[in-house]
Structure 1
Amino acid sequence: MEIYSNENEQMDALRRFFANNGKALAVGVVVGLVALGGWRYWSGHQETVDAGASAEYQQLTTAMQADKPQTLDAVAKFASENNNTYGALASLDLAKQYVEASQLDKAAAQLQSGLNDTKDANLQSVINLRLARVQLQQNQADAALKTLEGVKGDGWSAIVADIRGEALLSKGDKQGARDAWSKGVASDASPALKQMLQMKMNNLS
């Protein structure tokens, strides 16, 4: 759906990174935090758990189909039982299914849960952006503006500007929307995104 188009490339890159480098991440964390003799056992155990979560995530999300509720339930169960990056990714995938089914309350709940499952700043930014879009669809402009405050990093500035402009416009603040979109146009965004923001500004006139 259009609601997800601006973040798809970043989301796919994050998913591939964690799927392909989960083991290395687990080992790196252990090496950095544990310096005593027991670290080898812990490392091996954590690596096994991480690899298992990655494999299960791939299996469940690949099989997920909107017309088969049992597949959605399986992903929801996985997300609730894995308070880690894979749980957060599962929540994102499940939220997308709920949005496409117009079950916005369930989508928002999954995204909120995903935020609590990961400490990765980029993944948190993706989740916050998608949550803000869902909140806009729920006519919760103030909540969307608050959610956007959780998006960190200059690389997201144009997308944030796009959503902020939509939220402000829904509140009747045309000047605020114009200012937001203007900042997006002035940012280091893709030509396509800049053109879209400029068109929105032109439509205000």
Structure 2
Amino acid sequence: MESYRSEEEQVEALKRWWKENGRSTLIGIALALGLGFGWQAWQKTQQLAAENASNLYQQMLQVLSTQDEQAGTVGRQLATQLKEQHRGTVYAQFAAMHLARLAVNDGQLQAAEQELRWTLSMASGNDDIQQVAQLRLARVLASLEKPDEALDLLQGANPDYQASYAIARGDIFLSQGLEAEAFAAYESALATMEEGAPVPQTLQDKLEFLGARLQSAVLEAS
């Protein structure tokens, strides 16, 4: 506002300003208060939804951990409910990965692929869920005889998953009879593991087996 020489001028200016802007100011204050209360209500709604999703997820885990014959059916129902009612939460993504695991156990690889692709569509960035879902999807695609798609998924990995991704690439190459490529992938996995970390016995066995075969092939060719 302008500077005025006398209090009277300031009062008149305030009256004039209020006449011109007072109504919009009140509306702005009302909106601000409304937004404040709305934000609090939204936060409470989100908190309640998160608690409900967490409780439902715990129920699903408890059911799937039992040996009951109906556990798989009930577990699938709870997982599907999580996906439908809480699709924007990590619980829904975990539920989808459980559904994929159950589908693999039942030999329903296409259903597993769908669940894992759904998980990836909901996961953000290169977080742990995305990395694990990509790894599992790659193995499912390889089992569906889609090795090229599987290998494409395994190109990018966070440092924590580089060894697991390299082992998966090696397994896919080995299933195709590409022993040299498989050996190189397994060696890459070994190289990316942290110093002092235990080396999986299966990885050691594969390296020894392929190393011996490749050396034998070189000797035969010479």
- Structure 1 length-normalised TM: 0.73
Partner of 1:131 in structure 2?
A: 137
CA distance in 1 between counterparts of 2:157 and 2:147 reads 19
How far has the Cα of 1:101 moved from its partner?
1.5
Secondary structure in 1 aligned to 2:171?
helix
Partner of 1:75 in structure 2?
A: 79
Partner of 2:198 in structure 1?
A: 191
Instruction: Provide, for residues 11-67 of structure 1, a one-character-per-residue CA deviation record: whole Å limited to 9, x for no partner.
Output: xxxxxxxxxxxxxxxxxxxxxxxxx73432222221111111111121133224784
**Contact 1:168–1:176, Cα closer than 8 Å, also in 2:** yes
For the structure 1 residues 142 and 81, does the alpha-carbon distance in structure 2 shift closer, same or farther, using more than 3 Å as the test? farther
Partner of 1:110 in structure 2?
A: 115
1:76 maps to a residue whose letter is: T
For the structure 1 residues 43 and 81, does the alpha-carbon distance in structure 2 shift closer, same or farther, using more than 3 Å as the test? closer
CA distance in 1 between counterparts of 2:157 and 2:123 reads 14
Secondary structure in 2 aligned to 1:97?
helix
Over 4 Å off, 4+ runs: none
The percent of aligned pairs where both chains have the same amino acid is: 29
> How many pairs align?
168
Partner of 1:46 in structure 2?
A: 46
How far has the Cα of 1:77 moved from its partner?
3.5
**Contact 2:56–2:78, Cα closer than 8 Å, also in 1:** no
Partner of 2:175 in structure 1?
A: 170
CA distance in 2 between counterparts of 1:152 and 1:82 reads 28
Partner of 1:179 in structure 2?
A: 184
Give structure 2 stretches of 5+ with no counterpart: 1-34, 214-222
**Contact 1:98–1:107, Cα closer than 8 Å, also in 2:** yes
CA distance in 2 between counterparts of 1:67 and 1:89 reads 22
Q: CA RMSD for the aligned pairs?
A: 2.2
- Structure 2 length-normalised TM: 0.67
**Contact 2:49–2:86, Cα closer than 8 Å, also in 1:** no
How far has the Cα of 1:126 moved from its partner?
0.9
